[in-house]
A and B are shown apart, each in its own frame.
Chain A
Amino acid sequence: MSESDHGETNRRDFLYIATGAAGVVAVGGSVWPLVSQMQPNEREKAAGAPVEIDLSAIEAGQLITVVWRGAPYFIRKLTESEIKAAEDAGQAEFRDFQPADERIAAPEGGSKEWTIVAANCTHLGCIPTKIDTGFEGWICPCHGSKFDVTGRVTKGPAPINLPLPPFAFADADRLIIGADKA
């Protein structure tokens, strides 16, 4: 097969390489569908379309959990004291610091009082439970990660803050999760 066997490249060398290359393509082509079928199917993808949530009934201090793409999301209307605590908290308390301002959302013309975050702990996906005492937000029952009222991680194994989903306010009372434009 190698050149040294016969001094110069001949037709057989070409055939060896061409056959080998065709074999690689054939194996790759067969493996591709076997792996590709693992991904979420079309119906699953279609069911992942954005969802609209009515916010009008939520009082300050209240938390609701909504589902998008089979995963839960927290929508929490913060009280004034909670907002103040989140803004006053020192940078050193957080592992993955982001200013409170970036974590609290507002509809157009409305006040900044909404925390909208994925409800799966960024460690291994358990759903953190709300802490009702003090200004701490959530604690994860699985491995003890703690998050403040805006979903920023303060303790435990979670590496990053609860992520913000793509969302947009259609108007003051209607929130769309899954799209960043209304």
Chain B
Amino acid sequence: MSGHSTYNPTSGIGKWMDARLPLARLVHDSFVSYPVPRNLNGFYTFGGILMIMLVSQIITGVVIAMHYTSDAATAFESVQLLRRDVAYGGTLQAWHAVGASMFFVAVYIHIFRGLYYGSYKEPREVLWILGVVIYLLMMATAFMGYVLPWGQMSYWGAQVITGFFSAIPLVGETVREYLLGGYSVGSATLNRFFSLHYLLPFMIAGVVILHVWALHVTGQTNPTGVEVKSKQDVIPFTPYATLKDALALVLFMALMCYFVFFLPDYLGHADNYIPADPLKTPAHIVPEWYFLPFYAILRAIDFNIGIPFTDIVLIDSKLGGVLAMFGAIVVLFFVPWLDTSDVRSANYRPLYKVFFWLFAINAVFLGYLGSRPAEGIWIPLMKATTFWYFAHFLIVMPLLGFFEKPKPRPASITDAVLGKAELSGASQLAGSTAAPETKS
């Protein structure tokens, strides 16, 4: 995709710089002349939105860190001070906290778009894997950020999540002590989480650069899943994709502003306005909404796994839950190879399309179950949805490639676009087809 450069500096300074450090050429080739498929729909704007969200989180984060103290005795107070007494502190803190949620809204749409249109398939496996790495880093960052206000949910979230590591056989307790810097969650823990919470976003930024690099090597997919074949199939990134991304960003930000200004605490938990108390567990610990599906998977495994008809336990329930939860993310790394179909887009895969939506509904339902207490009917439901989550990747995806009869695919992106135009009755498109970037 990255053909020869069309960057052509005109000014003296531009030419001088281009011969020494062609930064402007890199930007021009990556974000101006870079060709994108002409049929990208709105779901393809979330990559750009995510980049802006990362920048927004880093800027607000750096600023509110100036008012934060990472000592267990004063952390809670410093966040309240920020919200009440610092000029615009309440807005900045809300922007950062709501921003974390919106970041996950965007990343989930981005991931599901990839699953629907088969964006992970050859030759984009590395691109997909880098995306899963970013998602993992985001989860670590979000978790540690949530601990910083040092409310009840912060504290007990840290207790539960660092408890995962004590599930490791033999060395678990020692690993946990090293993570906590103490025998229990305390000031030492809070300090190191603050340090890492500041570090990880920059690591995310680094992996994002690799992610975009990999994207620009293979080029973007598109709703047909058919690769770009000719110049007719593409339009330049600027102004077409730039403006489309900008429009989507404005709508996304409007939604975000509604939460920031009118419902800043809606996505959080009231319990986090109670200072951390190591001697009192909140009646109902729940993570932030974006972790709920994994929380349900964690709690679904409440049984030991052993050799049948003996008392030998291979994996106890605690380790089993933690393994299932991490497994739910690890399985994403293997999606490019678990999907055996050579058709990319679900638009041409009648069965996969159905299973995709089943999976999406199941994932949302898992999230709902994650917010329910672990009792009664919820437990078997958690088990069933957890089973379906894994079955989708490990059974449905590999088998569909063999049993599914895909619909005929268009010969090219342009064909697909034209076919659609004919159906909707537009007739004067011939000119714009030959040179889609010029108005007829």
Given A141-B281, A157-B321, are A38 and B163 also a contact pair (CB < 8 Å)?
A: no
Given A38-B181, A44-B188, A156-B302, are A125 and B373 also a contact pair (CB < 8 Å)?
A: no
A residues in contact with B181, CB < 8 Å:
38-41, 44
> Once the chains bind, are B178 and A38 in contact (CB under 8 Å)?
yes
Give the contacts of A153-170 with B (CB-CB under 8 A): 156-160
Give the contacts of A126-182 with B (CB-CB under 8 A): 126-127, 129, 141-144, 156-160
> Once the chains bind, are A71 and B184 in contact (CB under 8 Å)?
yes
Is B15 among interface residues, defined by CB-CB distance under 8 A? no
> B350 to chain A: closest CB distance in Å?
40
Segment from B98-106, B282-290, B360-368, B418-426 that makes contact with A: B282-290
> Once the chains bind, are B163 and A125 in contact (CB under 8 Å)?
yes
> Once the chains bind, are B163 and A123 in contact (CB under 8 Å)?
yes
CA distance A159 to B183 in the complex (A): 21
B residues in contact with A67, CB < 8 Å:
278-279
CB within 8 Å: A-B pair count: 102
CA distance A120 to B278 in the complex (A): 10
Q: How large is the interface on B (under 10, 10 to 19, 20 to 34, 35 or more residues)?
A: 35 or more
> Once the chains bind, are B186 and A70 in contact (CB under 8 Å)?
yes
Which of A39, A129, A144, A157 makes the CB contact (< 8 A) with B178?
Answer: A39
> Once the chains bind, are A71 and B183 in contact (CB under 8 Å)?
yes
Which of A41, A69, A123, A142 makes the CB contact (< 8 A) with B184?
Answer: A69
> Once the chains bind, are B283 and A141 in contact (CB under 8 Å)?
yes
CA distance A48 to B156 in the complex (A): 21
> A127 to chain B: closest CB distance in Å?
4
> A1 to chain B: closest CB distance in Å?
31
> Once the chains bind, are B285 and A126 in contact (CB under 8 Å)?
yes
B residues in contact with A122, CB < 8 Å:
318
Is A72 among interface residues, defined by CB-CB distance under 8 A? yes
Interface size on A, residues (CB 8 A): 31
> Once the chains bind, are A141 and B299 in contact (CB under 8 Å)?
no
> Once the chains bind, are A143 and B182 in contact (CB under 8 Å)?
no
Given A44-B183, A156-B374, are A127 and B316 also a contact pair (CB < 8 Å)?
A: no
A residues in contact with B182, CB < 8 Å:
40, 44, 69-70
Q: Mark B302-313, 1 if CB is under 8 A from A, else 0.
A: 101000000000
Which of A40, A95, A144 makes the CB contact (< 8 A) with B188?
Answer: A40
Q: CB-nearest residue of chain A relative to B278?
A: A70
> Once the chains bind, are A143 and B178 in contact (CB under 8 Å)?
no
Which of A48, A126, A158 makes the CB contact (< 8 A) with B183?
Answer: A48
B residues in contact with A158, CB < 8 Å:
317-318
Is B160 among interface residues, defined by CB-CB distance under 8 A? yes
Is A26 among interface residues, defined by CB-CB distance under 8 A? no
Q: CB-nearest residue of chain B relative to A67?
A: B279
> Once the chains bind, are B318 and A127 in contact (CB under 8 Å)?
no
> A16 to chain B: closest CB distance in Å?
33
CA distance A36 to B414 in the complex (A): 60
Is B375 among interface residues, defined by CB-CB distance under 8 A? yes
Residues of A near any B CB (own CB < 8 A): 35, 38-41, 44, 48, 65, 67, 69-72, 95, 120, 122-127, 129, 141-144, 156-160
Q: Which 8 A-B pairs have the closest CB atoms?
A: A70-B184, A124-B163, A159-B316, A144-B374, A69-B183, A157-B302, A125-B163, A38-B178
A-B pairs with beta carbons under 8 Å apart, 22 shown = A40-B182, A40-B188, A44-B181, A44-B188, A67-B279, A69-B182, A70-B182, A70-B278, A72-B279, A122-B318, A123-B317, A124-B160, A124-B161, A124-B163, A124-B164, A125-B159, A141-B282, A143-B298, A157-B299, A157-B374, A159-B316, A159-B319
Instruction: Given contacts A35-B178, A160-B316, list 17 more A-B pairs with CB under 8 A.
Output: A38-B181, A40-B180, A40-B183, A41-B181, A65-B279, A69-B182, A69-B183, A71-B184, A71-B278, A124-B164, A127-B280, A129-B281, A141-B284, A142-B156, A143-B302, A157-B299, A159-B317
